[in-house]
Structure formats: structure tokens, C-alpha cells
């Protein structure tokens, strides 16, 4: 029987999966090391368990102790799994830019989570680094795992990730691509692979706003390079001790937007539902595609799972609000059909006048306004239903007698995808006001035409 004694025994041995569509224009083979197959859905399970095991062996972590860590979420997940199995408590500090999903998952495993501000320097007492250090001093029988400077981090990847990739590629790997943060995955994996074959190229991918790229190129930790960025789990505003730059050949930076768009492409084109940093890794590799040749075998590490980012990268509205998606909006539909006045009715007009306007302007939906205020609506389908139920002689009725509920009023910048869900059989149109306070209307036919263009 193939039975594991606990969840920790399922860590590692993640699959290599060939990328086919996102990389179709490349001359070489690109394989994804899909680390979300780990039980905590990220590569951080490997080093989290290793840090715990090393701390147990040297006496820093004792029975009944408390594990304390500053984490973007994934390391905390790995530590929490270890704590559940081994009987420890967990307190994690994290930043306010991390996804709600990550925080909720940590709490689900029994951890206490303290959310700290992102845009402060590492030594600021409010930073998640500083608060973790302070708690470790104040809480008896606690262990601050400190993934940034704990060399068990990179040791985990030297012992597991590197050997797995070497064996899975039969030693034919030519390039390793890693979106890097603490430096553990990058350094540990690269060290093992370069000991096997010094010619293997190691490419590190970094978000703009991190100082790691400039540090690699100049040896200077320049705080002027540091500015807020949205990408989670990678990049740093200091240089963790896990880095050993002698094993790295290239550092490349990727924008938040390009990384987010690429993550979504990987999901839609390859069926690999991975996280934000995976987009950074693959986008960075594509930015360096001119360095790749037919005989190359590239392994890109996809560090975590897309479920961590359903409220962000995989949420259209979140992407639109940050300018990451180029989409058509209500405003675009109105502009595309040219300037035209809104055809509307007043409440004291008759159904006969409504029919006349519908025929004259070839429209099915008419808002009803009084002194610029929206009172309701009249639709061709609604009038037809009344004729079937109440007889054909309704032409002389006032609009107020057949008034339907008003159409929804939305933002002028509402995206096309949202319009598609607002316009239904019962609700044939939506309205929005421009900057001058004038109403405009979009109907299902406007949406159909836009989708087909």
C-alpha cells in the first residue's frame, strides 16, 4: 500500500509540465516546475519544513513552542502545516498588500495573523520584519524562523528542488528561471544545478520597485530603487542572507502589469492556474527570448497557486481599476456610435407617442424622465405583454399607467463585460451620466455589436 503518515510527507516531487501555447514563438523547449502541487500549494512548503526540522535538531524549537515568521503568505502556509502535524503554535506578520485569501488560509490552519503596513522601511518598528523580531523576543519558547536569513531556506532547495529538476530533465536543463524574493529557491536550486553543470544559465526575475536587480549588477543596495509595487511574494527592499549572487547569471525586471497579464495567460492558454510571481517568471523569460536557441531546455518555476489571487489578478474589476486590462467601457460604446441625443419620454405622454418614437428611431427601450430625473422606463416587449393581457386599446393610456421599473444607472467607465451581465431579458438597457450630467443609454444591441467588432 502507498500510504503517507502525514501531510508533510507529500511535499516535493512536483511535476514538470511542457508549455505549449504561451511559448509557441520560442525556438526551445520550456518546462514548468509546478510547485503548487505541494500540499500548501506553493514551493515554500519545502523550505518551511526544512527550517522547522533544522531548528528542532539544534534545539531552537522545543516541544509546545511558537513559530513566528514574517511572510507574504506562502511560507506561513508551509510553517502552519508543519505546526499542525508537529504540535506548535504559529504567529505570522504580513503586509497589507497581500491577498485576503492568503490571510484567511493561514487563519484556517489555526495561525494568528498580524497585518502590518507595506510602505515602511524594514527597520521601521511598524514593519512586518520588526514586529516579528519583537514578538520573538517577548514570547517565551518561541522560534523566529526568519526565512530571509535562515540558510535552511536555500538548503531545502539544494537538497530537493535542484535534484528533482536535474533528474526530471535527465541532466539536460540549460536554463533555470526563478522569480525571486528571499533568495532561497534561486540560490539553493542554482547551486546544485551549477555543481552538476556550470554552463547552466540561471535567470532571476524581479519586480520593478525591488532593489535586487541593481544590487546584482552593481553590488549596491540602493534604497532609491525601492518603491511600492503590487506583485506579491517576490522582490525585496534589502538583500537577504540567502543570496549568493555567484550562482546567478542574469537579473531581469518585470512590471506589475505584464506579470499579471502573463499569469492570466498561463491559466487560459496552458490550464495552469498559478500565482502572480509565475507571471513574473515567464514574462521575464520572454523578455530575454533573443538569448534562447533551439537546443535549449528551459525550466521555469511556477511558485504557487492561483487560488491565492482570485480577488486580484484573476478579478477583472481589480485588473481594470489598475489599468492592467484594456477593455471597452460604456463610454467607448457611446462614443463609437457617434453623437446622438437620448430619446426619452415624459410621464404625461401617451403610449401612442411612445410607439411613434420607437418606430421613428428604431429603438425598443425608452427611459422616462421628468425634469432630468429618472422615473422609469418603457420597453417594446413590456408594451406588447400589456397588449396581450389587457387588450389592444392602450394607445391612449398615459405613460405613468404603463411605467416599468427604471433601467440601472451605472458608472460611465463600466466595462463591457459587466454590461453583459446587467442587460437581461427583463432589463433591456442601462444608463449612465457623462461629466456634464447628461444621461446616455446602452442596449443589448449595442453590446452585441461591440462584442462582434
Distances (CA, A) of 278 to 156, 157, 213, 247: 20, 18, 18, 21
CA distance 299 to 305: 17
Of the candidates 33, 44, 102, 444, the residue annotated as catalytic is 44
CB 45 within 8 A of CB 78: yes
User: In degrees, to the nearest 5, what angle opens at C-alpha 172 toward C-alphas 169 and 175?
Assistant: 95
Contact, 295 vs 174, CB < 8 A? yes
Query: Helix or strand or coil: residue 100?
Result: helix
CB atoms within 10 A of CB 250: 17
Q: What is the 3-state secondary structure (H, E, C) of 54-67?
A: HHHHCCCCCCCCEE
Cβ pair 285, 28 in contact under 8 A: no
- Contact status, residue 304 vs residue 278, Cβ threshold 8 Å: yes
312 is catalytic: no
* H or E element at residue 140: none
Grid cell, residue 34, equals 509546478
Which secondary-structure segment (H or E) carries 350?
none
In whole angstroms, how far apart are CA 436 and each of 312, 366, 372?
Answer: 33, 21, 12
| Inter-CA distances, 356 with 282, 344, 367, 380, 396, Å | 59, 12, 15, 11, 13
d(CA 129, CA 121): 9
Strands 201-207 and 175-179, by their bridges, are parallel
DSSP type of residue 406: P
Which single residue is written with the C-alpha cell 443609454? 441
d(CA 202, CA 219): 18
Q: Distance between CA 67 and CA 64 in Å, rounded?
A: 10
Say if CB 79 and CB 90 are below 8 A apart: yes
Buried (b) or exposed (e) across 420-439, using 16+ Cβ within 10 A?
A: eebbeeebbbbbbeeeeeeb
436: which DSSP letter? T
List the catalytic residues: 44
Amino acid at each position: 500500500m502507498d500510504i503517507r503518515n502525514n501531510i508533510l510527507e507529500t511535499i516535493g516531487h512536483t511535476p514538470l509540465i511542457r508549455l505549449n501555447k504561451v511559448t509557441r514563438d520560442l525556438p526551445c523547449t520550456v518546462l514548468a516546475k509546478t510547485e503548487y502541487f505541494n500540499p500548501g500549494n506553493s514551493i515554500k512548503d519545502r523550505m518551511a519544513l526544512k527550517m522547522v526540522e533544522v531548528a528542532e535538531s539544534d534545539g531552537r524549537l522545543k516541544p509546545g513552542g511558537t513559530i513566528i515568521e514574517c511572510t507574504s503568505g506562502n511560507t506561513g502556509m508551509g510553517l502552519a502545516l508543519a505546526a499542525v502535524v508537529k504540535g506548535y503554535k504559529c504567529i505570522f506578520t504580513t503586509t497589507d498588500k497581500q491577498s485576503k485569501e492568503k490571510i484567511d488560509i493561514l487563519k484556517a490552519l489555526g495561525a494568528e495573523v498580524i497585518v502590518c503596513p507595506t510602505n515602511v522601511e524594514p527597520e521601521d518598528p511598524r514593519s512586518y520584519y520588526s514586529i516579528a523580531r519583537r514578538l520573538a523576543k517577548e514570547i517565551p519558547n518561541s522560534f523566529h524562523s526568519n526565512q530571509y536569513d535562515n540558510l535552511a531556506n536555500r538548503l531545502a532547495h539544494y537538497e530537493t528542488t535542484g535534484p528533482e529538476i536535474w533528474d526530471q530533465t535527465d541532466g539536460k536543463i540549460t536554463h533555470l528561471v526563478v522569480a525571486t524574493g528571499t533568495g532561497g529557491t534561486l540560490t539553493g536550486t542554482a547551486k546544485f544545478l551549477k555543481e552538476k553543470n556550470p554552463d547552466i544559465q540561471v535567470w532571476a526575475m524581479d519586480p520593478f520597485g525591488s532593489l535586487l536587480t541593481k544590487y546584482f549588477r552593481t553590488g549596491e543596495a540602493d534604497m532609491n530603487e525601492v518603491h511600492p509595487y503590487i506583485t506579491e511574494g517576490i522582490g525585496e527592499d534589502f538583500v537577504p542572507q540567502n543570496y549568493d549572487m555567484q550562482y546567478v547569471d542574469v537579473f531581469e525586471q518585470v512590471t506589475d502589469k505584464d506579470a499579471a497579464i502573463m499569469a492570466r495567460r498561463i491559466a487560459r492558454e496552458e490550464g495552469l492556474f498559478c500565482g502572480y510571481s509565475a507571471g513574473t517568471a515567464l514574462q521575464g523569460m520572454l523578455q530575454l527570448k533573443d538569448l534562447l536557441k533551439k537546443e535549449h531546455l528551459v525550466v521555469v518555476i511556477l511558485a504557487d497557486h492561483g487560488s491565492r489571487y482570485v480577488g486580484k489578478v484573476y478579478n477583472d474589476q481589480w485588473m481594470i481599476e489598475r489599468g492592467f486590462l484594456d477593455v471597452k467601457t460604456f463610454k467607448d460604446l457611446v462614443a463609437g456610435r457617434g453623437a446622438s441625443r437620448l430619446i426619452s419620454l415624459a410621464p404625461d405622454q401617451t403610449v401612442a407617442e411612445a410607439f411613434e418614437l420607437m418606430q421613428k428611431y428604431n429603438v425598443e427601450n425608452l427611459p422616462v424622465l421628468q425634469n432630468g430625473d429618472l422615473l422609469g422606463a418603457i420597453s417594446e416587449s413590456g408594451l406588447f405583454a400589456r397588449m396581450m393581457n389587457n387588450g389592444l386599446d392602450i394607445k391612449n393610456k398615459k405613460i405613468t399607467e404603463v411605467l416599468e421599473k427604471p433601467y440601472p444607472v451605472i458608472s460611465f467607465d463600466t466595462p463591457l463585460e459587466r454590461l453583459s451581465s446587467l442587460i437581461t431579458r427583463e432589463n433591456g438597457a442601462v444608463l449612465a451620466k457623462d461629466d456634464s450630467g447628461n444621461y446616455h443609454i446602452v442596449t443589448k444591441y449595442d453590446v452585441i455589436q461591440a462584442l462582434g467588432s
